[in-house]
Structure 1
Amino acid sequence: MLAINPFDQINPPHRLLMGPGPINADPRVLRAMSSQLIGQYDPAMTDYMNQVMELYRALFRTQNRWTMLIDGTSRAGIEAMLVSAIRPGDKVLVPVFGRFGHLLCEIARRCRAEVHTIEAPWGEVFSADRIEDAIKKVRPRLLLTVQGDTSTTMLQPLAELGDICRRHGVLFYTDATASFAGNELETDAWGLDAVSAGLQKCLGGPSGSSPITLSPQFEEIVRRRKCVEEGIRTVDHTDGDDEMIYSNYFDLGMIMDYWGPERLNHHTEATSMLFAARECARVILEEGLDNTIARHKLNGAAMLAGIQGMGLEVFGDIANKMNNVLGVVIPQGIHGEQVRQMMLNDFAIEIGTSFGPLQGKIWRIGTMGYNARKDCVLQTLAALEAVLNRLGFVSPHGEAMQAAWNIYDAEQN
């Protein structure tokens, strides 16, 4: 039996979402989503699609023509990239330093790739030399990386990897779901062939749309694949050597034909999510992408200083952490889930738990998107200090707030 009245209006409780994502959407994004629907081939709609492509070229810092949206969560963007590029038997190399490297491996195996991995302990990242050594040994067709892994809060350096991939004839993809727009990412300057992201982290929107960008080289390998749609059209871009793409929905060749001037029917664009994605990009570019990244860095630094001022230990290599997510080691004698429940029930603030080898060992606290703000940081620190003191963890009184304030004061001076 339902415990609620299904005829009641949706009225979710107020929450301040300070976990690893999703976060509270920017009110401007929510307003954009409430706009009236229009037909998918209405000139106004196709113009919005073209605007989205242009806006996200600026965010990805690329000249790539094929910069667009995949309808679905950030995982849809990942899957579209991999299923469209990987042929059965292709060698791929995945540097795994957290949960989402394992996800890339799983999807690649479903594409029948020959998957090779190198692994770093959770809380560490890879040197460029180690990745190049693995490329020399494996000789993969694709390098599949995660830029920012929220499971560990680490940020993998990518700037040197593009040149390495070019020297060895390897295509270079990264999943930037958790890091995009809150940390530096230079698609063209770093030689990235493909990048996918999601709205629900630093972009300040809801989950449900995945911005992607493809280099001409990545486009070429996608176009060489066969794609068949029974009863509508048959497209064969291959010489017969490449396998057909096994997904219709995630076939990037067909999606490019839909977003391109041909406007060939593939799916019905998720209009409200397109409006959301457009507004996410517009808001950031209005602020300035460099300023947005600096805002994430500032508020992440204030949260870090506050946590350390409270006497808590930070997880992982701080020098390689994302600007927007922080791992906090749960103190001895403190029940991590009890703290999270008290934060939620008494202060309406959500912080994240963890999983895998870090389950029950760390909290993950995010400062991203619309919530990368001074008031959100200070509210979270004050609530966490109060809860911990209530449960018997004695921290230096007021030091967390003072440490965070010092970061903000230093930025103003």
Structure 2
Amino acid sequence: MSRVRIATPEGPGTTNDAANSRSPPISSTPQPVSQKSVTTPNDHHRQRSHIRHKNSRSPPGGMCACHARRLTHTRQNTLNCRQSPPVHNPVAEIGEVVREHGALFYLDAVASVGAEPVLPDAWGVDLCVIGAQKAMGGPAGVSAISVSERAWARMAANPRAPRRSYLSLLDWKERWIDGGRRALLHAPAQLEMLALEACLERIEAAGPDTVMSRHASAAAATRAGALALGGGLEPYVYEARDAAPVATTLRVPAGVDASELVARALAVDPARPLAAGGGALAKEMVRVNHYGPDASPEAVHGSLAGLGAAMAEAGLTVDPDGARRAASETWG
């Protein structure tokens, strides 16, 4: 695929806005709303998404069968993994189904790049968007994309595709890629670019495999520590193999408000990478982030200790020493 460009805040919109605005111009005909793969085992989200994830208690093969029945539109949007709730999607498997139906395949890999392999060419992804602010531990003001030849052709055939715009991919292709990559179309945000350079140099020095291994260890240690902590905590993602390496979500016992637990823990140390679930999940889900610099033993132990203290204050029986031992032994 052709690597296109880095978008910075000096363009019209944030990274997410840029990604969203790129989708519609691919086709010149009106499109139905794209179905998205499920990124949570929660029933509410499953019912709205129309597609079952293999972690959603569906029968084996249910996800692909559902794709085959419903993928009748011209593009498929998928998340590689998501920070909240953190479920890993079988992108290669989804890509096979998308290609069988001739649809374009878009992949949001913002949360996963740096924490696990992102292979857009091997997976048949037509447009892949990444960001540096999560597992890469870089600045939030930049993003990068890759575009397949099939997607370029679809854009070029679209008479309504945006032109003379910071977000025009065709402009970037013609003036940057085809122009020999000699000059950027627009003035970049210098501080973000310098921060990105430092981020990439840090990853290169450590080695990408080492960085990804650190995220996997953080996820495994957090899960083991949370289970050992007790107090009625349960992993939101039932199987460890389906859990994304960037965060761990935990269901609190009935009668306990997750947002209050998180508030107690953060009152002691606001730097702890803890958060309550969003929306309807705010009262039942605790999210322990472990991506970027927080993919470390210190951050994992700090999160478990803070969560344990908050649970004990709420009257729950917990084992903080057992949680620390389990996390340490699992990290290795």
TM interval, shorter chain, is 0.7 to 0.9
Amino acid at match of 1:291: T
* Maintained 8 Å contact 1:83/1:247: no
For residues 16-27 of structure 1, the aligned pairs below 5 Å read none
Partner of 1:250: 167
Amino acid at match of 1:71: T
Partners of 1:91 and 1:293 lie apart in 2 by: 37
TM, length-normalised to structure 1? 0.68
SS at structure 1 position matched to 2:234: coil
Partner of 1:79: 20
Partner of 2:277: 354
Deviation at 1:136, TM superposition (A): 5.3
For residues 232-381 of structure 1, the aligned pairs below 5 Å read 242-245=159-162, 248-260=165-177, 261=180, 266-311=185-230, 312-318=233-239, 319-348=241-270, 349-381=272-304
TM, length-normalised to structure 2? 0.84
- Asked which structure has the greater RCO (Cα within 8 Å, sep 6+), the reply is 1
Partners of 2:134 and 2:20 lie apart in 1 by: 19
Amino acid at match of 1:337: S
* Maintained 8 Å contact 1:70/1:76: no
> CA 1:79–1:249 in structure 2 vs 1: closer, same or farther (change >3 Å)?
farther
> CA 1:375–1:271 in structure 2 vs 1: closer, same or farther (change >3 Å)?
same
Amino acid at match of 1:271: Q
Q: Does 1:200 align with 2:133?
A: yes
Amino acid at match of 2:228: G
Superimposed CA distance per residue, residues 328-356 of structure 1 (whole angstroms, 9 cap, x where no aligned partner): 11233433233222222212324111123
Partners of 1:375 and 1:133 lie apart in 2 by: 42
Partners of 2:139 and 2:109 lie apart in 1 by: 16
Superimposed CA distance per residue, residues 261-287 of structure 1 (whole angstroms, 9 cap, x where no aligned partner): 376774322222122223322322322
Superimposed CA distance per residue, residues 81-119 of structure 1 (whole angstroms, 9 cap, x where no aligned partner): 3134243413564234259xxxxxxxxxxxxxxxx9523
Partners of 2:175 and 2:189 lie apart in 1 by: 13
SS at structure 1 position matched to 2:50: strand
Partners of 2:284 and 2:249 lie apart in 1 by: 10
Q: How many residues align?
A: 314
> CA 1:248–1:344 in structure 2 vs 1: closer, same or farther (change >3 Å)?
same
Partners of 1:368 and 1:89 lie apart in 2 by: 38
> CA 1:276–1:157 in structure 2 vs 1: closer, same or farther (change >3 Å)?
same
Amino acid at match of 2:31: D
SS at structure 2 position matched to 1:195: strand
SS at structure 2 position matched to 1:211: strand
> CA 1:358–1:341 in structure 2 vs 1: closer, same or farther (change >3 Å)?
closer
SS at structure 1 position matched to 2:311: helix
1:161 paired residue among 94, 98, 113: 94
Partners of 2:181 and 2:167 lie apart in 1 by: 18
* Maintained 8 Å contact 1:325/1:364: yes
Asked which structure has the greater CA Rg, the reply is: 1
Deviation at 1:403, TM superposition (A): 0.5
Partners of 1:384 and 1:137 lie apart in 2 by: 42
CA RMSD of aligned residues (A): 2.8
Amino acid at match of 1:287: A
Q: Does 1:147 align with 2:87?
A: no
> CA 1:211–1:291 in structure 2 vs 1: closer, same or farther (change >3 Å)?
same
Superimposed CA distance per residue, residues 15-46 of structure 1 (whole angstroms, 9 cap, x where no aligned partner): xxxxxxxxxxxxxxxxxxxxxxxxxxxxxxxx
Deviation at 1:303, TM superposition (A): 0.7
Superimposed CA distance per residue, residues 218-268 of structure 1 (whole angstroms, 9 cap, x where no aligned partner): 22222333xxxxxxxxxxxxxxxx324389332111233453337677432
Identity %: 22
Deviation at 1:327, TM superposition (A): 0.6
Partners of 2:54 and 2:30 lie apart in 1 by: 29
Amino acid at match of 1:76: D
* Maintained 8 Å contact 2:5/2:172: no
SS at structure 2 position matched to 1:272: helix
* Maintained 8 Å contact 2:264/2:310: yes
2:310 paired residue among 376, 387, 411: 387
1:94 paired residue among 35, 42, 53: 35
Deviation at 1:373, TM superposition (A): 0.8
Partners of 1:128 and 1:192 lie apart in 2 by: 21
Deviation at 1:121, TM superposition (A): 7.8
* Maintained 8 Å contact 1:194/1:214: yes
SS at structure 2 position matched to 1:328: strand
Worse-matched range after superposition: 161-170 or 382-391? 161-170
